[in-house]
Amino acid sequence: MELSSRITGLLGGGSDGWGVFSRARQMIADGTPVTELTIGEHDIRTASPILQEMHRAAMGGHTGYASVPGTPALRDRVAARVQNRTGVPTTRDNVVITPGGQAALFAAHAATTNPGDTALFIDPYYATYPGTIRGVSAIPKAIPAHASDAFQPRAGEVAAAAPGARSLLINSPNNPTGVVYSRATLEGIADVCKDQNLWLISDEVYDTQVWNGTHLSPRALPDMVERTLVVGSMSKSHAMTGSRCGWIVGPRDAIEHLTNLATHTTYGVPGFIQDAAEFALNQGPSFEAEIAAPFQRRRLLAQEIIGAQNAVSLVPADGAMYLMLDIRSTGMSGEEFAYALLDAHHIAVMPGESFGSAAAGHIRVAMTIKDAAFAAALKTLCRFAEQKSQ
């Protein structure tokens, strides 16, 4: 039987970008130890008190259908956190809880684009973006950010791509580059959204991982609140990737329609997960800082190691749990380099090309293993690049 082009065309016909990752996993399955610096998963598990709360809530009976837009208490908690962090008045009516940020990205595009509409996003990008857009029968259109601009997008290039588009998806702090968009970048983007009547979908799942300065949510910029949907998640900020709990913050009428969408797709998020998320958020910013600290520490370690050689350079960045390394001095593509490093040293990294053509000649390193092992792997990687660039 024939399946829909929406689903068979989801990957756009290209590689899914996970080839190196799959080879690494196969090597591990075959008994070869591999140092994995691939996916954005913490090296710690969800904290015990959060799990205890999850257990308490489940044992207390919160195991039936939960309120579809989210429990009032969790929506209030998310709204308060957003208001505290951004100064933008926000209530539970501006919040819908979703099963993770990924479901929120899908719902945000379903809410803002009609079939066949163009949805813009910035390249390099988190690997699911184009497929998410295709999944709602919209047309993904990438706008390159440039290595020479430290991957800050240019408003002029966004404006040039915008005519006829319905939405623009941005992500700061950024996966894969670690770049935090400057106020000037975000103001330029906001102006284009207003001039060209675009929805802005702002993926802020790394909002607690900023090492210099502070995270700026574009929803807080003048006249943006009515055209911005913010995607958030417990995954990265609270080491709760497996709990599948995220949200969209946006205008009240958009949230009403997104609640209808949730009723007809996910039917909400389990109540005991939401109670655990509320408990986790109640631990406040110091807990979030604790979860983020290893990545900041490892970035400093990486700066030292990379500063001591010339073959690899670090994209200047201030956030997230990744390093983007420029390996163009080796003459290899990111993909060639990643496969060769895996074969020679059993270290797995993601090729930049997995995240779009703008990141060609780069690799993404997830800072998600213990400090000593991370430093050792990075030194090996640099020596390998030195050999290749001679």
Q: Which is nearer to ligand PMP, 111 or 382 (CB)?
A: 111
Token digits for 233?
Answer: 């998640």
Token digits for 166?
Answer: 């319905």
Q: Exactly one of 152, 241, 296, 330 binds ligand PMP (CB under 6 A); which one?
A: 241
Minimum CB–partner distance for residue 118 and ligand PMP (Å): 21
Give how many residues touch ligand PMP by CB under 6 A: 13
Q: Which is nearer to ligand PMP, 121 or 384 (CB)?
A: 121
Give the helix ranges, DSSP H, for 87-181. 100-112, 129-135, 155-161
Q: Which is nearer to ligand PMP, 142 or 375 (CB)?
A: 142
Minimum CB–partner distance for residue 176 and ligand PMP (Å): 8
Minimum CB–partner distance for residue 232 and ligand PMP (Å): 8
- Is 354 a binding residue for ligand PMP by CB under 6 A? The answer is no
Token digits for 27?
Answer: 């090597």
- Is 123 a binding residue for ligand PMP by CB under 6 A? The answer is no
Q: Which of residues 152-171 bind ligand PMP (CB under 6 A)?
A: 171
The one segment of 78-86, 190-198, 233-241, 251-259 that binds ligand PMP by CB under 6 A: 233-241
Q: Which is nearer to ligand PMP, 46 or 102 (CB)?
A: 102
Q: Which residue in the block uniquely carries the two structure tokens 């070869």?
A: 32
- Which residue is nearest to ligand PMP, using beta carbons? 101
Burial class (CB in 10 A: 0-12, 13-18, 19+), 37: buried
* Strand ranges (E), the chain: 35-36, 95-98, 118-123, 139-144, 165-171, 199-203, 228-233, 246-249, 313-314, 322-326, 347-348, 350-351, 362-366
| Number of H-type helices and E-type strands within the chain | 14, 13
Token digits for 14?
Answer: 């290209």
Minimum CB–partner distance for residue 298 and ligand PMP (Å): 17
Minimum CB–partner distance for residue 13 and ligand PMP (Å): 23
CA distance 23 to 342: 9
Provide φ and ψ at 202, rounded to 5°.
-110, 110
Report which of 266, 224, 257, 268 is spatially closest to residue 110, judged by C-alpha positions: 257
Three-state SS for 143?
strand
Three-state SS for 201?
strand
Q: Which is nearer to ligand PMP, 40 or 250 (CB)?
A: 40
Minimum CB–partner distance for residue 266 and ligand PMP (Å): 12
Tell me the CB-side half-sphere exposure of residue 40, using CA atoms within 13 A.
22
Q: Which is nearer to ligand PMP, 224 or 269 (CB)?
A: 269
Q: Which is nearer to ligand PMP, 311 or 321 (CB)?
A: 321
Report which of 235, 216, 215, 217 is spatially closest to residue 280, judged by C-alpha positions: 235
Q: Which is nearer to ligand PMP, 45 or 252 (CB)?
A: 45
Minimum CB–partner distance for residue 117 and ligand PMP (Å): 21
Q: Which of residues 198-217 bind ligand PMP (CB under 6 A)?
A: 203, 205
Binding flags for ligand PMP, 246-265, as an x/- string (CB under 6 A):
x-------------------
Three-state SS for 180?
coil
- Is 243 a binding residue for ligand PMP by CB under 6 A? The answer is no
Minimum CB–partner distance for residue 242 and ligand PMP (Å): 9
- Is 126 a binding residue for ligand PMP by CB under 6 A? The answer is yes
H helix or E strand, kind and range, residue 339: helix 334-345
Q: Which is nearer to ligand PMP, 108 or 385 (CB)?
A: 108
Q: Which of residues 278-337 bind ligand PMP (CB under 6 A)?
A: none
Three-state SS for 141?
strand
Binding flags for ligand PMP, 27-56, as an x/- string (CB under 6 A):
-------------x----------------
User: What is the DSSP-derived secondary structure letter of residue 155?
Assistant: H
Minimum CB–partner distance for residue 131 and ligand PMP (Å): 13
Contact 127, 21 (CB under 8 A): no
Q: Radius of gyration over alpha carbons of the chain, in Å?
A: 21
Q: Which of residues 63-102 bind ligand PMP (CB under 6 A)?
A: 100-102
Residues forming contacts to ligand PMP in the complex (CB under 6 A) are 40, 100-102, 126, 171, 175, 203, 205, 233, 235, 241, 246
